[in-house]
């Protein structure tokens, strides 16, 4: 599975997991196993605002565009994420939602 991340300012982070052709996004499962080679599932057919484009199967691999929620202080790698290629089963490592607070910063 190849995943393109499209950053978007939101108030809650994304937790994503992959199991075969199933994506689990914030606890909700999306099964793309029925997609055959060359098929394209339009975004309008996916009941979630976490998808940023259609899902397709090309070269035997699913291609998915996901919204990557980012916080107000998101680090650069979240604001400009790299595509994820050949994503393995399990929790999908995503960039940090917020930049870590430095040890010298004080919380009000």
* H or E, element range at 23: strand 22-25
**Per-residue model confidence as pLDDT tens digits over 45-81:** 999 999 999 999 999 999 999 999 999 999 999 999 9
Where exactly are the structural domains of the chain? Answer: 2-79
* Integer Cα distance of 49 and 60 in angstroms: 25
* Integer Cα distance of 73 and 25 in angstroms: 22
**Per-residue model confidence as pLDDT tens digits over 2-17:** 999 999 999 999 999 9
Residue 25 near residue 16, CB atoms below 8 Å:
yes
Record the tokens describing residue 61, joined without a space: 């691999």
């Amino acid at each position: 599975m190849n995943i393109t991340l499209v950053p978007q300012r939101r108030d809650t982070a994304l937790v994503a997991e992959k199991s075969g052709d199933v994506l689990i996004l914030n606890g909700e499962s999306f099964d793309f196993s029925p997609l055959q080679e060359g098929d394209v599932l339009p975004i309008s057919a996916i009941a979630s605002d976490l998808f940023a484009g259609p899902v397709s199967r090309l070269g035997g691999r699913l291609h998915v565009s996901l919204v990557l929620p980012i916080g107000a202080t998101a680090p650069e790698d979240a604001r400009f994420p790299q595509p994820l290629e050949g994503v393995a089963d399990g929790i999908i490592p995503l960039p940090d939602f917020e930049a870590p607070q430095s040890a010298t910063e004080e919380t009000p």
